[in-house]
Structures are given as C-alpha cells and as structure tokens.
Amino acid sequence: MRILISLLQKEFLQIFRNKTLLPLIFVLPLVQLIVLVNAATMDMKNIRITVVDMNLSSTSRLLVSKLEASPFFEVGDMLINKQMGIDYLQDNKTDILLYMPQEMEQTLTKEGVVKVQIIADAIDASKAQLAFGYLTNIIQETHMQVMLEQQKLQNVKRISTNSSFWFNPDLNYKYYMLPGVLVILVTLIGLFLSALNLVREKEIGTAEQINVTPIKKYQFILGKLIPFLIIGLFELTLGLLAGKLIYGLPFSGSLLVLYSFASIYLIAVLGLGLLISTLSQTQQQVMMVSFFFMLIFILLSGAFTAVENMPELAQKLNVFNPVYYFMNAIRMILIKGAVFAELASEFRSISIYACISVTLAVLSYRKTN
C-alpha cells in the first residue's frame, strides 16, 4: 500500500508540474463542451424556402403567412416563375422550393383537394427529409383550416389528438447531445492522457528506472490508472455542472448510479489506453493507434447517428465498443431517470470490458527484474 501511495504522489506531481497538460485537462474540455453542444445538433431552423405563387389568392397568402410564422423556415423571394425557383435551387440560394399552381384555390373550392409541388435540395438527405416533413405538416394544417372555413367538413366528425412527450417534453435536442459530447470528452481525456503518460516515461527513460525497482506490475499499472480515473471523474463533474448551469440539463436519475457506471467505464478506457502504451514505443505510435480506436468508437456509439439505423454488422461491432455502453447509460440516467436494474446489461458488459482491459494491460507490461 505504501508503494502504491508513493506512485500516486509521483503521478500527481508530474501532472500538476506540467503547465501544458493542465489547460488540456481543465480548460479545453469545458470550451469544447460549450461549442460542440451548439454545433452538433439535428434541430433544423431557418431553412431557406422560396415560394412560387402562381395562384395569388387568399389561400396562398394564408400558407405563406404560416411559413413566415414558423421557426423552421426563412421565407425568401416570392416568385411567379417556376424555372426561376429551380435556378435558385441550382445556385444554392434556397434549400426548398414550394410551387403553387394557378388553379390551386379554384380546385380546392370545387374538389376539396389540390396539388402543390415541393422540390428540395437533397444533397443533405437528412435536412431535406426534415424540411419536407415540416413543410408537409404546415400545408396539411392550412388545408384543414381552409376546408373548415368553407364548411366542407361540417358533417364529418373530427378526431382530436393531444400529444405529450415523456422525459424531454420540450424536445430540446441539447439535452440529448450534451451527455453524448460529455462522454466523448471524458473518453478522450482518459484514453489519450493515460496512454501518453506511460509512453512518455519510456521516451525520457524514467520507466527503465522504475523497472529495476521491486515495484510489482499491478502496482505500477494502478499507479498510472488511479490518477486519471480521478481526473476523468472530475471532468465528468465539471461537464455536468456546466450542462446544468448553461443548458439546464435535467438530472432525472441518481448520481450514484451515474458515477458508479462512470468509474467502471473509466477503468475500462484507462486499461485500454495503458494497454496501447505498453505495446507502443513512441508517443506518435500511441496517438495513431488511439485515434484509430477513438474514431471507430465514436462513430459507432450512437453519438450522432441512431445505432438502430446502422447496418447489422455495425450494430454487432458495438459489443466491443465501451463508448456505446456509456453513451446509452448516461442518457438513460440523466434524461429518463434509469436505475441500476434498468442498466444491468450495460453494467455487466462494461465490467467485463474493464476486467479484460486492465488484466491485459498488466500482463503486457514488461519489467526487467
């Protein structure tokens, strides 16, 4: 125990003496959290829309007024030529084009239905689908309002629906993205710093000095793991406080459950980082290998794309992805209020991952005595 305490003192002294490392640990993650949460969003607002109004009727004006009142659309030029609207799309002056034919109101009055055309720039398929969905809903609402005013539906019973959303009633996308970004930042700190710390000692020669001492391999690995475990938990706390104060992030679940899972997760990630560093000889090798794993882990984790929408092979690969488990757990805990029993599968998987990664790190570390 005395040996382990001495190793921990050495590690913390090295960390706090490194003036370059401290901002990387305590300042940059907070700045990244604030910036990335606002940048990494699937909310679509200010979608540029161009209207080609060949009808110039009260119905078309009603539809345009609804578009102008919508927070999703930014109505641009009003055109009376369809080809001009298509030119706007090709010149990237608009995102979506709404074409209302000349006979629109007359057809609506006589037949109760009307055809309008929507042309969307689908280079960004996700944006095009959302914009099409928003615009379709507004058109349907306008159609219903006009039909009611003309008393076309006076003898038809209407079905009234009231919608409510659980766990995130305001549909605030930041509540979903902030925990995901926080997981990525905590993982980067744990994986990169733990890996770089050990291989740096190899490069400057202090690792060889430790190798000739009676220190056991497990003591040395624990001495490298525990300081960054504490730093990782501190980063998590700092991120949660920033999320609460800046974005009003809800804390529906138990912090005990969250920190229990985070501790096991960090042990798994730190073990992986130490395993990479024991097999590498230079910091450049560590950076390349760590970047390879991090890129795969983040893209498969569901941080930006729902795992259910991925190919079956990608979903199966997530069995080996620790970020995937923590991504699910932190969102379930903070937003849904999940308890231990509801996260039993994630706890079991990440615990197995932690045991394997730390064991391999200890076994792969070579001592000279």
Task: Using 50 as the pLDDT threshold, list the residues of the chain that sit under it.
Answer: none
The pLDDT value recorded for residue 270 is 92
Q: Kindly report the pTM of this predicted structure.
A: 0.81
What per-residue confidence (pLDDT) applies to 70? 87
**Close Cβ partners of 344 (under 8 Å, ≥ 6 residues apart):** none
Of 358, 6, 13, 367, nearest to 214 by C-alpha is 367
Which residue ranges make up each domain of the chain?
A: 2-40+170-364, 47-149
pLDDT given for residue 160 in this prediction: 65
Q: CA separation (Å) from 201 to 16, 195, 229, 295?
A: 16, 11, 19, 26
Cβ burial, residue 327 (10 Å; 0-12/13-18/19+): buried
Residue 54 is encoded by which pair of tokens? 């060949």
* Cα–Cα dist 357/365, whole Å: 12
Is domain 47-149 classified as CATH 3.40.1710.10? Answer: yes
pLDDT at 323: 94
Cα distances (angstroms) measured from residue 339 to each of 134, 255, 326:
36, 10, 14
